[in-house]
């Protein structure tokens, strides 16, 4: 599927709000002319900058791409947070920019209400301060101070909400990672959800929804956090921290009588903790291995200790990965305790009340004890979440969800991969009203005012600001009334859901950015926030603008470690992208992350990174080879010949020699395939196709073939055509690869001759260029022949530097094109359509030594054969195992027999050669009829083997 309409790209993910919009102009300044080979002029422009000391100044030492030059290449817009989103977004933005389509990537972050307030409160606690002891204004000022200090790059926002209620990275770190990964954002347009423009849009959205009757105030059951003293979204709850109906208790650890750490345990029956006799973790769970063998204190038991043990029956992925062992009240725990020799405690009487083992809770009914225990744990700060009826602000979702659901059903919104359509539809079909209020001080204050002295909270005023609210109050209640604003703030996701249009000037629909860039085309984000953010943006976009905010949703997978585990601080498997870049380079990291399949999680391993680092260096060395073999700068005559070659017509391609015609035809086919993959968002396919062509075709085959023309032809025209093809193919490869690997490709591009603009704004290669299928087939035949010869050399352990003769027989047609192209090569070839090669083994091996080695090997195999035959006929084989042993031994026997026959055949060849061998060297052109007959016999024997 190809994209149509204005090519505008929208937000990336709520981890750090990074919309990609399309712009109608390229933010690019002029570039001066350049010099190539080993010296280049300095070029300064917005997106990229090259220095005087280019990569080829010292070709003897610059054997690999210098990763430290990456930051120099992209000084203005150089970027990993979740890694995958930014690599995919930048691929999209660079691809469509090179296609001449208007593009804009607008970066930004949200304010992460709960997470940010939590971290600042902890910071204040370390200073001996509490939020309750401060005014709201003083507290928010401290948050803004923390924000500025945490963001070393001026103007960058500092808070990131990762969708699970945890504090994300500081904004400075986020922005540093994004820039370091090479994200080509327009940083001059960076936004923060608490910016004045976005705050105005949030208030406007609330007022309009309320005026329409979609926002209401009421008391309903919500998820309440006693420690945070706020409602939390039921959608944002993850089982590892809190979940509706689940109570999470904490056992604190003690070592040398010093409390040092906490373990979080999930249970729906907290009253059974009095019967806990151990805490179990998986022995290979890296989060808890340091605790194995230590003691845990059971809460509310006056310091009773239980051991922390390891057992493979514990599921690392379930809950928190920690199992409380209550042998007296769980069948599985009972059997585990019996196996491990743990004591068994019963805390319950037959009538359902707790016995004396429960201490202060003795005599209470189990349900009453459960409530009281929960309250006590909450009081001491060990409880996390519980359902609670509370008065909150809600947004009615049925009407909004229906429109968003129809957008997918009608095909107006395409979700990639398609399997996530079911998830999207399930959420919207079973949607509940959204609790949008939070009892926090950090965030967008709800634009609702009440009358001072009026205790009825059902009488309120909704307005865009305090002045408007006061004016409305005067009209309704008289001019003597005073008003006060609702202390609650809006859910962070509320402001994030407006991002595609609030960042472009909405509610001012006549603003330049809004008219140019809305609606957008593609949203690229993680599949884990399909409802949290994606569906809500769709609903809000339709509601406030009348159109979908984007037409395509591309969902990437999550990055996991090499073992397939989700990265987390508790597991200690979080990979710092900056450290990874220092070791492997940004291009290798980007390319690795981009090869995944849409919606599939990616296991990031050092092996993959190392492989793609090698690919980066392969690209670098290919460029180095080409540049070092170009003619000197002032050789205008040679350069005129090189630049005169064109490859955009069938006539020009068909006139090329075989190797050149093959590589150009393959390149043109690659352009079509890669462009199609880009258009369909098959980035992994595009990357793999480029990799295979460059390494397996261009570098391994054509560069090697071109050396014959460059070094041994003695013809200026032959060298010129090799120069022209090398430059043409390499430039196209750099363009195709640039969206994946911007740093090394830009560095190489600027070293090439006659480049008047940066690669980032160069034109994408033309598609549907001519191809010669006949040349492709012929060259593939030659490749097969060469591979067969190489395999034979390797099989007989021929030294790489040793030259051998070869005789190739074929028909007149193949003889024509091979002899014309390869008659001057060191190996004499007489080729035909069959391409059957005869290699004189006398040139390849020491016949007597090889015959002696094969004789010893054959003798050993004969002994193994006899031993197997004896075992197979032995009467001592157990009757029941006989069929299985017979099958196994028969397989081994047949394998040994085949190997023995192979060695016999090889030995026969050596003996035959020794019999007919009359001179130390036979040139392929001078073979007599005896030699020809000898090779025919060799071929027959080798085939029979």
pLDDT tens digit string along 14-73?
Answer: 334 444 333 333 322 222 233 233 222 222 222 233 333 333 333 344 567 776 666 555
Residue 261's pLDDT is what?
A: 61
Inform me whether the pLDDT recorded for 723 exceeds 80: yes
Helix (H, G, I), strand (E, B) or coil at 416: strand
pLDDT tens digit string along 2-25?
Answer: 443 333 333 333 334 444 333 333
Residue 789's pLDDT is what?
A: 80
Regarding predicted confidence, which is higher, 154 or 500? Answer: 500
Residue 703's pLDDT is what?
A: 94
What is the pLDDT confidence band of residue 403, given thresholds at 50, 70 and 90?
Answer: very high
Inform me whether the pLDDT recorded for 748 exceeds 90: yes
Residue 690's pLDDT is what?
A: 97
Inform me whether the pLDDT recorded for 396 exceeds 90: yes
pLDDT tens digit string along 465-498?
Answer: 999 999 999 999 898 899 999 999 999 999 999 9
Could you give the percent of the chain with pLDDT greater than 90?
33
Task: Provide mean pLDDT across the span 762-784.
Answer: 91
What is the pLDDT confidence band of residue 366, given thresholds at 50, 70 and 90?
Answer: confident
For residue 523, what are the β-bridge partners?
10, 553
What is the pLDDT confidence band of residue 891, given thresholds at 50, 70 and 90?
Answer: low
pLDDT tens digit string along 682-703?
Answer: 999 999 999 999 999 999 999 9
Task: Provide mean pLDDT across the span 617-631.
Answer: 93
Inform me whether the pLDDT recorded for 903 exceeds 50: yes
In terms of average pLDDT, the best of 61-70, 151-160, 254-263, 774-783 is 774-783
Inform me whether the pLDDT recorded for 580 exceeds 60: yes
Residue 617's pLDDT is what?
A: 94
Task: Provide mean pLDDT across the span 97-116.
Answer: 86
Inform me whether the pLDDT recorded for 161 exceeds 90: no
Task: Provide mean pLDDT across the span 321-342.
Answer: 82
- pTM: predicted TM-score of the whole model, two decimal places: 0.70
Residue 601's pLDDT is what?
A: 79
Inform me whether the pLDDT recorded for 82 exceeds 90: no
> What are the structural domains, with CATH classification, of the chain?
238-384 (3.90.740.10), 448-485 (no CATH), 607-771 (1.10.730.10), 780-843 (no CATH)
Whole-number Cα distances in Å, 592 to 329, 683, 740, 876: 49, 11, 9, 57
How many CA atoms within 13 Å lie on the side-chain side of 738?
A: 31
Task: Provide mean pLDDT across the span 452-465.
Answer: 87
Residue 466's pLDDT is what?
A: 95
CB-CB contact of 565 with 458 (8 Å)? no
pLDDT tens digit string along 635-652?
Answer: 888 888 999 999 999 999
Inform me whether the pLDDT recorded for 443 exceeds 80: yes
Residue 85's pLDDT is what?
A: 54
Residue 557's pLDDT is what?
A: 79
Whole-number Cα distances in Å, 391 to 384, 456, 527, 726: 20, 13, 32, 72
Residue 75's pLDDT is what?
A: 45
In the numeric block, which tokens belong to residue 160?
Answer: 């990131």
How many CA atoms within 13 Å lie on the side-chain side of 718?
A: 17
Question: According to the 3-state scheme, what is the secondary structure of 188-254?
Answer: HHCEECCCHHHHHHHHHHHHHHHHCCCEEEEEEEEEEECCCCEEECCCCCCCCCCCCCCEEEEEEEE
Task: Provide mean pLDDT across the span 666-695.
Answer: 95
Burial class (CB in 10 A: 0-12, 13-18, 19+), 438: buried
Burial class (CB in 10 A: 0-12, 13-18, 19+), 155: exposed
Residue 210's pLDDT is what?
A: 96
Regarding predicted confidence, which is higher, 511 or 81? Answer: 511
| Average pLDDT over the chain, rounded to an integer | 75
Regarding predicted confidence, which is higher, 34 or 869? Answer: 869
pLDDT tens digit string along 218-267?
Answer: 887 777 766 667 877 665 443 333 333 333 333 333 333 334 466 777 67
What is the pLDDT confidence band of residue 886, given thresholds at 50, 70 and 90?
Answer: low
Instruction: Name every residue whose Cβ is closer than 8 Å to that of residue 386 and which is 6 or more positions away in sequence.
Output: 223, 224, 226, 247, 374, 378
Residue 553's pLDDT is what?
A: 93
Long-range interactions of 155-160: CB distance < 8 A, separation 24+: 155/190, 156/109, 156/190, 157/108, 157/109, 157/111, 157/190, 157/192, 158/109, 159/109, 159/110, 159/111, 159/112, 159/115, 159/116, 160/15, 160/16, 160/81, 160/109, 160/110, 160/112, 160/115
> Is the omega angle on the peptide bond into residue 449 within 30 degrees of 0, that is, cis?
no
Residue 895's pLDDT is what?
A: 63
Inform me whether the pLDDT recorded for 628 exceeds 50: yes
């Amino acid at each position: 599927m190809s994209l149509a309409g204005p090519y505008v790209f929208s937000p990336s993910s709520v981890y750090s709000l990074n919309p990609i919009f399309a712009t109608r102009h390229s933010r690019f300044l002029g570039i001066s002319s350049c010099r190539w080979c080993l010296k280049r002029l300095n070029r300064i422009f917005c997106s990229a900058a090259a220095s005087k000391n280019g990569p080829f100044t010292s070709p003897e030492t610059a054997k690999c791409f210098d990763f430290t030059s990456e930051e120099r290449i992209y000084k203005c817009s150089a970027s990993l947070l979740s890694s995958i989103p930014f690599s995919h977004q930048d691929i999209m933005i660079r691809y469509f920019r090179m296609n001449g389509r208007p593009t804009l990537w607008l970066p930004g972050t949200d304010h992460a209400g709960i997470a940010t307030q939590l971290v600042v409160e902890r910071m204040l606690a370390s200073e001996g301060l509490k939020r309750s002891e401060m005014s709201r204004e003083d507290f928010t000022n401290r948050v803004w101070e923390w924000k500025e200090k945490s963001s070393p790059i001026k103007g960058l926002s500092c808070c990131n909400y990762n969708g699970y209620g945890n504090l994300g990275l500081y904004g400075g770190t986020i922005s540093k990672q994004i820039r370091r990964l090479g994200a080509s954002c327009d940083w001059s347009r960076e936004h923060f959800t608490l910016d004045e423009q976005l705050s105005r849009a949030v208030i406007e959205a609330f007022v309009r929804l309320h005026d329409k009757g979609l926002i209401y105030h009421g008391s309903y059951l919500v998820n309440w956090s006693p420690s945070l003293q706020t409602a939390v979204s039921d959608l944002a709850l993850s089982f590892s921290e809190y979940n509706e109906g689940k109570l999470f208790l904490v056992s604190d650890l003690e070592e040398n009588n010093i409390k040092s750490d906490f373990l979080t345990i999930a249970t729906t029956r907290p009253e059974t903790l009095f019967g806990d006799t151990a805490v179990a973790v998986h022995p290979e769970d890296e989060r808890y291995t340091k605790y194995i063998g230590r003691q845990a204190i059971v809460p509310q038991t006056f310091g009773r200790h239980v051991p922390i043990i390891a057992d493979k029956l514990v599921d690392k992925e379930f809950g928190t990965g920690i199992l409380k062992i209550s042998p007296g009240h769980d069948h599985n725990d009972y059997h585990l305790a019996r196996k491990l020799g743990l004591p068994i405690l019963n805390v319950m009487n037959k009538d359902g009340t707790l016995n004396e083992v429960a201490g202060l809770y003795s005599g209470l009914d189990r349900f009453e004890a459960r409530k009281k225990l929960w309250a006590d744990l909450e009081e001491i700060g060990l409880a996390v979440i519980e359902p609670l009826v509370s008065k909150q602000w809600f947004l009615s979702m049925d009407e909004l969800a229906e429109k968003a659901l129809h957008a997918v059903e009608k095909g107006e919104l395409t979700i990639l991969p398609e399997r996530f359509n079911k998830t999207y539809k399930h959420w919207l079909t079973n949607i509940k009203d959204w609790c949008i209020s939070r009892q926090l001080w950090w965030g967008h204050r709800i634009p609702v005012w009440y009358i001072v002295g009026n205790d009825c909270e059902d009488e309120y005023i909704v307005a865009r600001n305090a002045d408007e609210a006061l004016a409305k109050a005067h009209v309704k209640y008289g001019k003597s009334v005073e008003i006060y604003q609702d202390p609650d703030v809006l859910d962070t996701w509320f402001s994030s859901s407006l991002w595609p249009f609030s960042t472009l000037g909405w509610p001012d629909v006549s603003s330049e950015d809004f008219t140019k860039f809305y609606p957008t085309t593609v949203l690229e984000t993680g599949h884990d926030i399909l409802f949290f953010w994606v569906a809500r943006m769709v609903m809000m976009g339709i509601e406030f603008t009348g159109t979908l905010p984007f037409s395509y949703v591309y969902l990437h997978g999550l990055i996991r470690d090499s073992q397939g585990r989700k990265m987390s601080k508790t597991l200690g498997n979080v990979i710092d992208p900056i450290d990874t870049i220092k070791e492997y380079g940004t291009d290798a990291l980007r390319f690795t992350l981009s090869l995944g399949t849409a919606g599939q999680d990616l296991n990031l391993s050092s092996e993959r990174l190392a492989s793609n680092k090698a690919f980066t260096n392969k690209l670098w060395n290919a460029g180095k080879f080409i540049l070092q073999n170009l003619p000197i700068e002032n050789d205008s005559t040679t350069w005129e010949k090189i630049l005169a070659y064109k490859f955009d017509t069938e006539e020009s391609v068909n006139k090329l020699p075989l190797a050149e015609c093959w590589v150009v035809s393959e390149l043109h086919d690659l352009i079509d395939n890669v462009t199609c993959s880009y258009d369909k968002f098959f980035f992994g396919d595009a990357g793999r196709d480029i990799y295979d062509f460059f390494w397996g075709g261009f570098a391994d085959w054509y560069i090697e073939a071109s050396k014959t023309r460059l070094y041994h032809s003695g013809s200026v025209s032959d060298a010129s055509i090799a120069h022209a093809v090398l430059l043409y193919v390499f430039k196209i490869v750099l363009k195709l690869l640039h969206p994946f690997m911007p740093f090394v490709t830009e560095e190489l591009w600027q070293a090439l001759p006659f480049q008047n603009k940066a690669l980032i704004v160069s034109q994408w290669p033309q598609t549907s260029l001519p191809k010669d299928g006949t040349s492709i087939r012929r060259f593939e035949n030659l490749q097969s022949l060469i591979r067969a010869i190489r395999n034979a050399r390797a099989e007989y352990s021929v030294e790489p530097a040793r030259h051998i003769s070869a005789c190739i027989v074929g028909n007149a047609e193949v003889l024509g094109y091979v002899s014309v192209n390869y008659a001057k090569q060191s190996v004499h070839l007489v080729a035909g359509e069959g391409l059957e090669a005869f290699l004189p083994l006398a040139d390849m091996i020491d016949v007597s030594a090889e015959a002696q080695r094969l004789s010893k090997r054959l003798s050993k195999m004969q002994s193994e054969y006899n031993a197997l035959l004896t075992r197979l006929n032995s009467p001592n084989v157990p009757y029941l195992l006989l069929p299985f042993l017979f099958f196994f031994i028969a397989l081994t026997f047949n394998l040994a027999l085949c190997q023995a026959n192979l060695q016999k055949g090889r030995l026969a060849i050596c003996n035959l050669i020794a019999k007919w061998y009359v001179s130390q060297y036979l040139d392929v052109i001078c073979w007599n009829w005896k030699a020809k007959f000898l090779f025919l016999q060799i071929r027959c024997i080798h085939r029979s083997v």
